[in-house]
Each structure stands twice: as structure tokens, then as C-alpha cells.
A and B are shown apart, each in its own frame.
Chain A
């Protein structure tokens, strides 16, 4: 099973700042099969990125994903008030189980 470790646990930033979130895998994630989700309190997760760098439908271009192998990054270029939330990475390698990171909370500084 691939274990995903996200860092930092909490990121305190101001609107307009750049957010950089990390997701590190315990072994190589095949073909960059990695996704990112945003979750707000009381809501289901929302897909942001799949295939490490492909934005899902309707996701603003301030969200971008990069990385390969064991190191992946989600970048929010300029934080909007609605971007303060918890973010999860998820790998979907060649076979299940599909696993999630423990999450990074982006909070208002």
C-alpha cells in the first residue's frame, strides 16, 4: 500500500498570497496517478486536479498541480477567500487500494 504524507499540516496565509502544498508518496506513484481535492466544513470533497497536473472541469486556473514519482505539489497562485479549506491528495496507481494523504489545512492568517 502506498502511504501519502502531506505537509505542512496547517498553512497560515493571507488572501492574495501563494500557497504551496506538498504530498510525498512512500513509493513511486505510477504514471503520475495522483489527484487533489478541496474540502470545506460540512461538504463533500471536490476534485481539483487529476493526473498530477490536469485541472478538473470548472476549476480556476489559480490551482495547479505538478510532480512525479514520489513528490507532488499543489499550488494556489493567489489565495481567494473561498480557498481556505482542507486539501487532500490521493493516489490511484496500477491497482487498489486507493489511498489519501492526511490533509493540509489552509487557514487565514
Chain B
């Protein structure tokens, strides 16, 4: 079955850029699914960041849109997240997830990666 694994620096300096990669195994990133990033600040709820299709089409959360870039690398079967101008408020566990799809609908998240904690601090 499909598995996802996040990777990237666990510590980013304020005003810097957070960069994470999600490696997809057990399936192709060029399938009919979208691929998404979700984050969770410590002790808080879940926030959708954005998503990408293998064609490169993207959708972003308006609250983060000015700072977010999601890209895909089909040759490596992975997709990536960049979040610029980070502050302490961006400290969170970052998850990648596949967007579920049926014949008629799409939009839930399954499966999820294990998540990676990114701390913004000097």
C-alpha cells in the first residue's frame, strides 16, 4: 500500500524558508490523486496548507498562499513544500498526505505520513 515519508530540517531560523519533502512509496505520484500538506502546531488542531497534482496544478490555503510553494518531482516520486518568511507561529508538525478519491468525489486525506516537527527558532 502507499506510504509517505516526510524529510527535512527540524530547525529553521526566523525569516528563513522551511523546506520539506514527502517521498511516496508503494504507488505512483502520477496517479489520479492530489497530494497535500497539513500542519499541526504543538497541542493544537490541524491546518491544511495546500495540495498539488502530478501535472503541477496547485491549490493553497489563502491564509498562507503568499508564502507557500508546493512542487512535484515525478522522477523521484516525491513532492515538496516551501514556506518562506517563517516565524515562531509556523512551528508545527508537518504532515504530507494523499488526497483520497473515488469515481465521484475527492478530498479526504489517506494515508498520512508520520509527520515531522519543524521548530522556528534562532
In the complex, whether B88 has a CB less than 8 A from a CB of chain A is: no
Q: Which of A18-44 contact B (CB under 8 A)?
A: 31, 33, 35, 37, 43-44
In the complex, whether A90 has a CB less than 8 A from a CB of chain B is: yes
With A44-B114, A56-B110, A90-B109: A103-B48 Cβ-Cβ less than 8 Å: no
In the complex, whether B100 has a CB less than 8 A from a CB of chain A is: yes
Q: Say which residue of A1, A31, A43 sits within 8 Å of B62 (CB atoms).
A: A1
Q: Which of B53-105 contact A (CB under 8 A)?
A: 59-63, 95, 100, 102, 105
In the complex, whether B9 has a CB less than 8 A from a CB of chain A is: no
State how many angstroms separate the Cβ of A21 from the closest Cβ of chain B.
14
Residue contact B115 to A44, C-beta cutoff 8 Å: yes
Contacts of B36 in A (CB 8 A): 98
**In whole angstroms, how far apart are the Cα atoms of A99 and B47 in the complex?**
7
State how many angstroms separate the Cβ of B72 from the closest Cβ of chain A.
17
**B interface, CB within 8 angstroms of A:** 36, 45-48, 50-51, 59-63, 95, 100, 102, 105-115
**A interface, CB within 8 angstroms of B:** 1, 31, 33, 35, 37, 43-47, 50-51, 56, 88, 90, 92-93, 95-103
8 closest A-B pairs by CB: A92-B107, A35-B108, A47-B110, A44-B112, A50-B108, A100-B46, A96-B59, A98-B48
